[in-house]
Amino acid sequence: MKILVTGGLGFIGSHTVVELQNEGFDVVVIDNLSNSSIEVLQGIENITAKKPEFENIDLRDKKSVQDFFKKCSDISGVIHFAASKAVGESVENPLLYYENNINTLVYLLQELQQKEEAHFIFSSSCTVYGQASAMPITENAPVQSAMSPYGNTKQIGEEIITDVAKVSSVNAVLLRYFNPIGAHPSVEIGELPLGVPQNLVPFITQTAIGLRKELSVFGDDYPTPDGTAIRDYIHVVDLAKAHVLALQRLFEKKNTEKVETFNVGTGKGSSVLEVITAFEKVTSQKLAHKIVGRREGDVVEAYADTQKANTVLGWKAQSSLEEALESAWRWEQKVRGKMAVCPKQN
């Protein structure tokens, strides 16, 4: 079966292409290389001994999307990653986010709804819960008013898919990711943030490698045991596997609703200071950091109730925080060409 992976050269997309190919699926990647590199194709091939088909298509171009589906009428399922994801940028340029994240989704669904059967997996985010009132967060926790245009595109995206599924052949799974980190254990693929990383783990690894002077810890006055904010950090390979299971669930018609939603996290919350300590343990080096004020828009804590994913999807995170951080560190060293100081080789 042939699966279309949009944004398939990005961080989560590329790891998902690997897992799909490992499970025997044929993959066509669509990516416009706006936040990814063509070299990722080679990394995928190095792991799976198979290069996925690749189309450099900008999904904002409706005609190109139509032409693609005319040409590739044998697509059995779509996993849609292609989207912009920087919260701050979305506040500064909201229309860019509505165009990139919403128009593209509409164009894809316009093609899919014409099919006799359509299977669709959507990259959503725990950001839809805002600051949930109870931890861990279940899928029934209310969706709260979005704090950024980026967050809003995830909420609107979920609603669009739900509306379309009601009146069409589209069956969908919405995967609400917690905080994806790490790299493939082969370090053939990993995260490639553009510019100064906004997310915690790439900032940590870039600090450790000497690209950044020190990590700023955003706030130590949160109502948490050590005062720093708590998140659920999930290894990207575990997250990628959840997509394959979600797709298989749709193919096997095991879904009980036309649109199902799953949290994808480990179920374990870690504070920023705990992440730093774990990173220091894994790498046997001190990480330069200082406490600064809170970052606007950050929630105090967010970690997943994973029971639904465990029992219904048959998925459970396998990797520990330490394993994920270790892979992120080896990847950073590889990217910067400093494999000689890799802790695994010392």
Instruction: Report DSSP letters for 96-110, one per residue.
Output: HHIIIIIIHHHHHHH
Is 11 buried (19+), middle (13-18) or exposed (0-12) by CB count in 10 A?
A: buried
Minimum distance of ligand UD1 from residue 125's CB (angstroms):
4
Q: Are 101 and 123 in contact (CB under 8 A)?
A: no
Closest to ligand UD1 by CB, 13 or 151: 151
Closest to ligand UD1 by CB, 170 or 217: 217
Closest to ligand UD1 by CB, 21 or 319: 319
List residues binding ligand UD1 (CB under 6 A).
Answer: 85, 87, 125, 127, 151, 179, 198-200, 203, 215-218, 229, 231, 272, 295, 297-298
Minimum distance of ligand UD1 from residue 163's CB (angstroms):
23
Task: For residues 209 and 330, give the distance between their C-alpha atoms in angstroms, rounded to a whole number.
Answer: 10
Minimum distance of ligand UD1 from residue 84's CB (angstroms):
11
Where in the sequence numbering do the catalytic residues fall? Answer: 150
Paired tokens of 36? 């990814």
Minimum distance of ligand UD1 from residue 87's CB (angstroms):
4
- Of 194, 175, 151, give the one whose Cα is nearest residue 81: 175
Minimum distance of ligand UD1 from residue 148's CB (angstroms):
7
Paired tokens of 188? 């053939």
Minimum distance of ligand UD1 from residue 23's CB (angstroms):
25
Task: For residues 174 and 219, give the distance between their C-alpha atoms in angstroms, rounded to a whole number.
Answer: 31
Sheet holding 118-125, edge to edge: 53-55, 26-30, 2-6, 75-80, 118-125, 170-177, 259-264
Instruction: Give the list of residues 6+ apart from residue 74 with CB closer than 8 angstroms, or none.
Output: 2
How many other CB atoms are there within 10 angstroms of residue 158's CB atom? Answer: 20
Closest to ligand UD1 by CB, 21 or 306: 306
User: Which residue type sits at 314?
Assistant: G
Closest to ligand UD1 by CB, 212 or 258: 212
How many other CB atoms are there within 10 angstroms of residue 35's CB atom? Answer: 18
